[in-house]
Structure formats: structure tokens, C-alpha cells
Structure 1
């Protein structure tokens, strides 16, 4: 967990995404490619690299804000990975992915979208609040960066579905898989994350209420994640 804490200590005048990329590359090297966490990690590594390139190229009007949001978002995923390694409690939104990561009846596409669900449905809202505290601004000041990061995630979701959806050779899985994954939308999750971030910001002076709101958000996103990982074949 020290490495994730070290990443968090870099919150300052400008946030580089390089430490998060290095961590995710290390996770990719250490896990079997079929492991559900490795499947999501590969997807998220691609996202982080693309956002990093976009920040470096000046695609974001406020590079500092974009880097802060991206680093905070990555940090929450890496903290979950470290917690599992240490045997510590894991947020409910991430538990299904870690619990079912080796289940033979769960398809790679399900693993990838379950991870995105945890990140967008829960972690993104908290990352906005974290970044606002770091930058001493309000969520409205990060709305452009939030939208741009969300646009990258939407494009990535489309790529995930194209690359990981089973082909004709496993057609018997296609109908239930298509039905299952059609129940979740990244656009809706992103809209919910923005509303949750604004709500949490308004509740920042009421820590008990904010904590209850965050816990309920975590549990509800975890429930969706468990649904997305419904096994489609027997063990």
C-alpha cells in the first residue's frame, strides 16, 4: 500500500499520471492475462495512457485539473488492488471483480465492464471531490475536465465491446451476454457520478451524512457489479 500512498503524496502543483501507469504495467506483468483483474487493468492502463497523452498534448484546457482528476481516479483503483494484496477491506464496488476474477463462467467483457462500473459509478464521483479539495475549487470548475475524461471512457467502452464480445463460435452465449450488458450504460453511470460528486460537495460540511451517502453509493454500485459478473457458463 506504500506505493499507492506515495502516489497520493504527489498531489501538489501538478499531477503526473506516470506513477499510475507504472503501477498498472507492474500489475499487468504480475497477473495471468485471464485473471479478471488483469483484464480490467489492461483496459484501464489503455485509458490512463490515452488521457496522459491528451494532457501532454494540450487537449485539456486546464492540464493541472485534468491531471489531478485522473491521478485521483487511478489512485482509488490502485488502493483497492493494494487492499486485496494486504488482506484489508475492499470497497463494495470493487469486491465483485476481485471475488469472481478467476470464475471460468465469466467472460472477459464482463470483467472489463464491471471494473468500469466501479470506477465510473463510485470512484469518479469521489475523485472529483478529492481533486476539488486538492485544487481548492468547486466541482463546476472541473466540469470540462470531467466531460473530457468521460468522453475517453465512452470511446473505450465501445472498443471494449468490439474487442471482447464473444464471436460466432460461442453464439450460444451471445444472447444472454448481450441482454446482461445491455442493462448497464456508461453514459448513465457518468451522469450519476457527476450528480453524486456535486451532492457530496454540498455535504462536505456534514461528514456523517456525507459518509452515509458514500457508503450507500458504494453498495449500490457493488450490486450492479455483481450483476454484471453473473456467470454465463458453469464452473
Structure 2
């Protein structure tokens, strides 16, 4: 990865390791009941993070340090949303639907999983890319190869999520609205939108008021999609 001299790295920032964020997600996994919608997403995200960690160790990513930093800063935004909810504070709007509906008996596991992925990809990923650029002193384009490899991992796992969590064929025939609802959301499109948002936010880094307004609107829009994904289906 090319370092950009006139974007100094924030070397004074203390960041946990990938192992640390994985340990926190494993703790959630052991404490939350399987019926908890947030636990469903957490299990999916734990699988993703462990797989990315293994690929970093195998040298799959062009820049292991950049990939690990992005992975950790990305995970920290999810963990911060959980911490806010547990403490009675307001989490980002993108996470509020999942936090509010996590115990709803009419929402199916696959809906919880995709609502969490929607919040994390649609809102958190763009911000994590910008965070990583500030932390490493680079531009978003320097992270593009690592971003693409993370995205490839997510797409492969999304297919498995749908296979593991979707109701069987007989139930799907009865619950056709669920099939239509879930088919209306695409991880590929969400990932492309996150990359575009990261580039825009990086371009607005000298205009913090505009960047904040864009971030707030992005947060609200992703939250609205999350509410749609969590429409009770039975």
C-alpha cells in the first residue's frame, strides 16, 4: 500500500487487535439466547470476522496491516452500537431497528441477519474506510484491493447465510412476501454504495459540516431499509 506523506497517520490512537474484537463477539455469542435477533447477526458477523482473520494470516490480503486495521475499525462501530444500546444510549439510526425488534417473534432469523448486515455495510463500512485512512495516513484508493477481498468474503458468506437461515421450500411457497422482501436487498449494491460513500466522505474531509450532514442522512436512510427488512413475516 502506498503511504501518502501529506496525510499523516494517527499513530497516537490505541486500537484493539482482531483477536480482541473476536473475543467480544464470542462473549456476546455465549450470553445471548439463540432466539435473540442481535445474537443471530452477531453469529454471522463472528463467522465473517474469523474468516477474514484467517485470510489475513494466510497472506490473502495485499497489505495485512491495512486489512487488519480496517477489520478492527469496522468491527468497533458494531461494538459501539451494542455498547450504546446496553447502556441505554441511542445507537446510530441504522442499528435502531435491529435493537428494537431483536425479540420480535414474527421476525425470522434471516431477516435479523440481513438487517444487521445492512446496517454494518450500509453505514459503518464507509466510515470505517475513512477511519482507516486517517489511522494509516493513506487514501481510500490505497485500500481498494483489501476492500474488494473483504467484499468477496462477505458475498460468499451471504450466500451461505441465506441457505442456512432461509425457511425451507414449502414454507417459502406459503410465505412468498418474505422471499420478495429479502430479494429486494443486495449485498453487492450495498457494498458499492459504501465505497462511493467513503470516497465522498473523504472528499468532504475539509468540510466537516457537509460530511456530518451526509453521514446523518446516510444513517437515517440505512435505518429505514433496516425497518423494511424487519417487517414481521409470520
**TM-score under structure 1 normalisation?**
0.92
1:141 matched to 2:181? The reply is no
Counterpart mapping for 1:2-81 below 5 A: 10-11=14-15, 16-81=17-82
Q: Partner of 2:181 in structure 1?
A: 180
Structure 1: distance between partners of 2:116 and 2:159? 15
* Most deviating of 214-223 and 171-180: 171-180
C-alpha displacement of 1:16 = 2.9
**TM-score under structure 2 normalisation?**
0.93
Question: Secondary structure, in 3 states, of the residue corresponding to 1:88?
Answer: coil
1:112 matched to 2:113? The reply is yes
Structure 1: distance between partners of 2:51 and 2:209? 37
Q: Partner of 2:222 in structure 1?
A: 221
1:107-155: CA deviation from partner (whole Å, max 9, x where unpaired): 0000000000001111000000000000000000000011111111111
8 Å CA contact retained: 2:175, 2:233? no
C-alpha displacement of 1:172 = 5.1
**How many residue pairs end up in the alignment?**
223
Structure 1 spans left out of the alignment, 5+ residues: 1-7
C-alpha displacement of 1:10 = 3.6
Structure 2: distance between partners of 1:190 and 1:73? 13
1:164 matched to 2:179? The reply is no
8 Å CA contact retained: 1:128, 1:197? yes
* Most deviating of 173-182 and 223-232: 173-182
Q: Partner of 2:4 in structure 1?
A: none
More relative contact order in 1 or in 2 (CA 8 Å, sep 6+)?
A: 2
Structure 2 spans left out of the alignment, 5+ residues: 1-11
8 Å CA contact retained: 1:166, 1:173? no
